[in-house]
């Protein structure tokens, strides 16, 4: 059995798993950040308020103009002599005064709306600047993440091809043993001998076990502690 090949297969699988995990992390990071959502919502809310105040101001100005026309027409009638009845004259005069008071109130609304709109427009400009800054930083980060994701996807594909070629060379029996150990040993089927210890469980190995592993006669040698196949370079 090609123990060195199984060890190489183990390294490929671990690198494929790392690539998969990194791509998953990147995909999560590519979700729009909450800070950007909040900034965009703040701009939208402020813009709606500016539009509401602008509409309120325009309505007030329109009503003021209409009242001005009605006042002008009533004053023209009052001064023209068309109305001669004292009661009618008094009613007309009273109506003119009422419309003037109403117009004054409406003009106050128009001025108040204009002042509030200007303040909200100032706030809108500030929030748009904040949004632009956050969005610019996010787009730069997004571009970097997408580039990294492309790199890891390419690495994954390359590793997959390597694994396929190596699997064909190793044969069914070796692959079956490897798969069983991967399932039973938390994804690590083959461990290297490093400094006289198993690289998977870090337990010191007997000299005889290390010597047997180094023979490389194709017979699997297992770690006495964790039960993984040992590979000694």
Q: For residue 147, what is the domain's CATH number?
A: 1.10.287
The 3-state DSSP class for residue 222 equals: strand
Quick check: is 217 in a domain? yes
- Is pTM beyond 0.75? Reply is no
Quick check: is 37 in a domain? yes
Quick check: is 130 in a domain? yes
Quick check: is 71 in a domain? yes
Whether residues 115 and 218 fall in one domain: no
E strands present in the chain: 190-194, 197-198, 229-231
Number of domains in the chain: 2
- Domain carrying residue 93: 32-170
Whether residues 37 and 77 fall in one domain: yes
DSSP-assigned letter for residue 204 = B
Using the CB atoms, write b or e for 179-192: b if 16+ within 10 Å. Answer: eebbeebeebbbbb
pLDDT truncated to tens, each residue of the chain (233 aa)? 889 999 999 999 999 999 999 999 999 999 999 999 999 999 999 999 999 999 999 999 999 999 999 999 998 888 887 877 888 888 889 999 999 999 999 999 999 999 999 999 999 999 999 999 999 999 999 999 999 999 999 999 999 999 999 999 998 999 999 999 999 999 999 999 999 999 999 999 999 999 998 887 788 999 999 999 999 87
Q: For 194, left (φ over 0), alpha (ψ -120 to 50), or beta?
A: beta
Burial of 200 (0-12, 13-18, 19+ CB in 10 A): buried
The 3-state DSSP class for residue 190 equals: strand
């Amino acid at each position: 059995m090609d123990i060195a090949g199984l060890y190489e297969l183990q390294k490929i699988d671990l690198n494929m798993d790392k690539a998969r995990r990194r791509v998953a992390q990147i995909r999560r990071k590519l979700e729009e950040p909450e800070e950007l959502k909040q900034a965009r919502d703040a701009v939208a809310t402020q813009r709606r308020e500016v539009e509401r105040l602008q509409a309120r101001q325009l309505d007030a100005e329109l009503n003021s103009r209409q009242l001005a026309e009605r006042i002008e027409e009533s004053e023209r009638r009052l001064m023209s002599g068309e109305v001669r009845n004292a009661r009618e004259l008094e009613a007309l005069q009273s109506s003119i005064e009422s419309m003037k008071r109403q117009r004054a109130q409406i003009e106050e609304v128009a001025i108040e709306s204009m002042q509030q709109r200007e303040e909200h427009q100032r706030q809108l400009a500030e929030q748009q600047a904040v949004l632009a800054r956050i969005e610019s930083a996010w787009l730069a980060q997004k571009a970097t993440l997408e580039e990294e994701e492309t790199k890891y996807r390419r690495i994954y594909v390359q590793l997959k091809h390597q694994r396929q070629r190596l699997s064909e060379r190793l044969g069914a029996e070796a692959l079956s043993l490897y798969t069983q150990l991967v399932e039973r040993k938390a994804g690590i089927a083959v461990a290297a001998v490093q400094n006289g210890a198993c690289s998977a469980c870090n337990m010191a190995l007997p000299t005889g076990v290390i010597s047997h592993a180094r023979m490389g006669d194709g017979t699997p040698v297992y770690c006495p502690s964790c039960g993984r196949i040992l590979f000694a370079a």
